[in-house]
Each structure stands twice: as C-alpha cells, then as structure tokens.
Homo-oligomer: A and B are copies of this chain.
Amino acid sequence: MTGRARRREPRQERSRAMVERIVAAAREVLVARGYDGTSTNRIAAAAGVSPGSLYQYFPDKDAVLTEVLDRYLDAMEARVSRAFLDSVATAAPGPGTAAAVRGTLQALLDTFAAEPDLLRVIVEQLPRSPGGRRAAFAGRIDDLVTTVLLTRGAPGTEPARAMAWTVVRTVEHLTTGYVLERPGFPREVVVDELTALVAGYLDARLSGGRVASDGPS
C-alpha cells in the first residue's frame, strides 16, 4: 500500500469485466478475512480467476487494494460532496449553518453506516501512506469546503483553508469514529454534539470574529 502503483487502463470490455471481478473479490476477501488474510491467491480464487490473470491487470498486490480503496473513496466523495452541497443549498446563508452542518452529518453517518465492515477494515487495518489516496481524498473535500466557506464570508483564502481543514477532519474522524466505536450514546447525540461543535465554530469565525483569545482583551 505504498500508493504509488496504478493499474493499467483496460481497453477491452472483457478486460473491464475481469478488473471488476477482481476488485469485487478483493473487497469481499478484505471484509471476510481482514488485511492479513487477504492474499493475492485468495483474491484470485474468490474472483474465479488465476493468479496470473490478476497480474495481467494489476502490477502487484498493492495496486489491487489501492483500487478497492479508490473506489470506496470515490463513492464516499460523491456522496459526501452531494450531501454537503445539498445541505448548503437548502440552508439560509446566515442562521442556517447549523441546519447545513446537521444535514451533512446525517448523510455522512448514513453513508458510513451502510458498509461498516468495509469501513472498519479500511480505517483499522489498511496501512495508509502519507500523500496517498486518503490524503488526496481529504484534500479534495478540503477544496470543496474551502470554496463554500469563501462564499459564506470567510476572511480570505488562507483562513478559509485552515477552517476547512479543521472542520473536514473533525467531521470525518468523529463520524467514522462513532460508527466504528459505537460508544454508549445514541446517534442523535453525536449529531447534536457535532452540530454544536462545528456550527458554533463556523458561525463565530464567519461572522468576522477574530480567533478567541484568552477572554475579551
């Protein structure tokens, strides 16, 4: 999982089908047997394909897992972007921050909870490489949020980037954390707390407030 290996782009229809089978099989094996139990031979067997064929389409084991991760992240990105933009569009610019945040959170929790087993393997077992797929994913979400924040009154690009970075990671980790940890309180509580956390922050920062120092100076 160095993240550098890429699969070859298949041209034929037949090829596409094989790639699909292999990726699907890899995902299944990953969920069923964990990262350590996922060998190329097992993936090939689960795909009903020979090990040699697997290497026709992927340069190495890493590339297969990277592809699984990529697809997961692509799906996430599509859903997250849509949920975020929808929530933002629906909510009034000023007082609607909380509603927008809340809507996004609900959508995220739905999304993550849909496939918790795969989420678990990805978060808990897949080695993540610096500058790898996950970083790029988060970076794109950062950009999206940055853009919106700028339209909502963020005081400049740099502050907007910092705010986006802060908010995106907070929401990402706490929503996945809730799904995976299943702490002792109901989902609505996380939604409430996270909404308070994030919306309060954004409201304060977008209404021109300087960063909170140690009390009113």
A contacts, CB < 8 Å to B: 34-36, 91-92, 95-96, 98-99, 102, 120, 124-125, 127-130, 135, 158, 161-163, 165-166, 169-170, 173-174, 177, 180-181, 183-185, 189-190, 192-201, 204-205, 211-216
Contact = CB atoms under 8 A, between A and B. Distances in A.
Nearest to A200: B200
Given A174-B166, A174-B169, A181 B130 contact: yes
Contacts of A128: 124-125
Contacts of A199: 212
Given A166-B190, A193-B166, A200-B201, A215 B95 contact: yes
Contacts of A201: 196-197, 200-201
Q: Specify the main secondary structure of chain A where it touches its partner.
A: helix
Given A96-B215, A127-B125, A211-B196, A169 B162 contact: no
A162 B177 contact: no
A124 B1 CA distance: 11
Nearest to A194: B166
A115 to B, nearest CB: 16
B181 A196 contact: no
A52 to B, nearest CB: 11
